[in-house]
Amino acid sequence: MSELSKDNVADAFGRPLRSLRLSVTDRCNLRCSYCMPEQDYVWLPREDVLTLEDMATLTGYFTDLGVDRVRLTGGEPLLRRGLSGLIRLLRQNPLIKDIALTTNGILLADYAEEFYEAGLHRITVSLDTLRPERFHQLTRRDEHERVLEGIASIARAGFTGLKLDTVAIRGFNDDELVDLIEFGKQVQAEVRFIEYMDVGGANQWSQEKVLSRAAMLAMLTVHYGTIEPLPERGAAPAQRFVLSDGTTFGIIPSTTMPFCATCDRSRVTADGMWYRCLYATTGTDLRKSLRAGASNEEMRSLIRAGWEGRRDRGAEERKALERDGLRVGGLIGIEKLRADPHLEMHARGG
């Protein structure tokens, strides 16, 4: 379909379909306690995982219906062999304006140049701490140095607009907010603090561990003085702020100030399950239709109908449960996660 015939759809609340998070693998080389706290996992069957060509084809149906931003994620996306081939395929789609990557950074030094050549636009690295021993405590792996090397390789490869995403957890890294912003200045990155969410395997989540947007701003104001908010950018989840020296940073208040009202995101797992919300427990099996030989128009109709029926606002619903005192800890227990690995954050891509 050409730009002229692009068919923009809207969901039941009038929200457009604009952004797609493509999880290219559910495997990971870290075990972050807020995402993969267990010893063992049920993985998506290898034979179900889509080829990179199929992923590009599926993405094409989404772009025909309004998507113009794609984020590659996982699990750890750099564990997927041939990822730069997927970036090249996506670059051939003229409807995609922005291709971004979220990675834990461990393998980045090996691939940054290749990704730049392939046409990747932007990189976000997840970095929760600057302290190696704390990194080990969080991730159960000794890879902090490689993450820092990965971050250093990004600018060398030619990328600009680096973002560092930090999950802010009370009692874990709440004493590092300033250090992370200062580190961001050194590596020309904008730091974004994400509120800890109860999603998938976050079964160590509790309300007490959530460092709220308000608490973060209060802590940062003590150190930096006046902090000014920057104007909102459409459906972007991060609220951005500027310090008096011009440094900018973001807060993604997913838990205390959900942004469901403007949410334009879809998620496709590595085996082609499509979820209309990070918290959705049911999705649409696009792989099945693709492998059954559905025509392009049938695939587009399936996605159009799915989006038009979308009423998801998962984070707002969770917040309402809290307000009414109907919630204590994590909402989805380990048994349910084992029965359906698609519910895991590392399958769904964050």
Binding site for ligand SAM (CB under 6 A): 28, 34-35, 73-74, 76, 102-104, 126, 165, 167, 194, 196-197, 199, 202, 345-346, 349-350
The yes or no reply on residue 314 touching ligand SF4 (CB under 6 A) is yes
Binding partner of 20, given ligand SF4, ligand SAM, none, CB within 5-8 angstroms per partner class: none
Q: Which of residues 82-141 bind ligand SF4 (CB under 6 A)?
A: 104, 126
CB of 73 to ligand SAM, least distance (A): 5
CA distances from 316 to 62, 198, 332 (A): 25, 13, 16
> With respect to ligand SF4, which residue has the nearer C-beta, 75 or 283?
75
The yes or no reply on residue 44 touching ligand SF4 (CB under 6 A) is no
CB of 306 to ligand SF4, least distance (A): 14
Binding partner of 197, given ligand SAM, ligand SF4, none, CB within 5-8 angstroms per partner class: ligand SAM
The yes or no reply on residue 299 touching ligand SF4 (CB under 6 A) is no
Q: Which of residues 327-346 bind ligand SF4 (CB under 6 A)?
A: 346
Separation between Cα atoms, residue 140 and residue 29, nearest integer Å: 10
User: β-pairing, 284-285 with 273-275?
Assistant: antiparallel
Q: Which of 83, 151, 189, 263 binds ligand SF4 (CB under 6 A)?
A: 263
User: β-pairing, 122-126 with 98-103?
Assistant: parallel
Tell me the two tokens of residue 318.
């969770």
CA 41 vs. chain centroid, Å, equals 20
Q: Which of 9, 20, 22, 32 binds ligand SF4 (CB under 6 A)?
A: 32
CA distances from 212 to 2, 174, 218, 252 (A): 44, 11, 10, 10
Separation between Cα atoms, residue 166 and residue 160, nearest integer Å: 19
Region for 251 from its dihedrals, namely left if φ exceeds 0, alpha if ψ lies in -120 to 50, beta otherwise: beta
Stretch that binds ligand SF4, among 72-80, 155-163, 203-211, 334-342 (CB under 6 A): 72-80
CB of 348 to ligand SF4, least distance (A): 10
Q: Which of 20, 36, 120, 148 binds ligand SF4 (CB under 6 A)?
A: 36
Binding partner of 64, given ligand SF4, ligand SAM, none, CB within 5-8 angstroms per partner class: none
> With respect to ligand SF4, which residue has the nearer C-beta, 220 or 286?
286
Long-range contacts of 309-312, Cβ-Cβ distance < 8 Å, separation of 24 or more: 309/11, 309/12, 310/11, 310/12, 310/13, 310/15, 310/276, 310/277, 311/11, 311/12, 311/13, 312/260, 312/263, 312/276, 312/277, 312/279, 312/280
> With respect to ligand SF4, which residue has the nearer C-beta, 31 or 134?
31
Region for 215 from its dihedrals, namely left if φ exceeds 0, alpha if ψ lies in -120 to 50, beta otherwise: alpha
Q: Are 245 and 234 in contact (CB under 8 A)?
A: no
How many residues form the binding site for ligand SF4 (CB under 6 A)?
24
Tell me the two tokens of residue 33.
């306690």
Footprint on this chain of ligand SF4 (rule: CB under 6 A): 28, 30-32, 35-36, 74-76, 104, 126, 258-260, 263, 265, 277-279, 312-315, 346
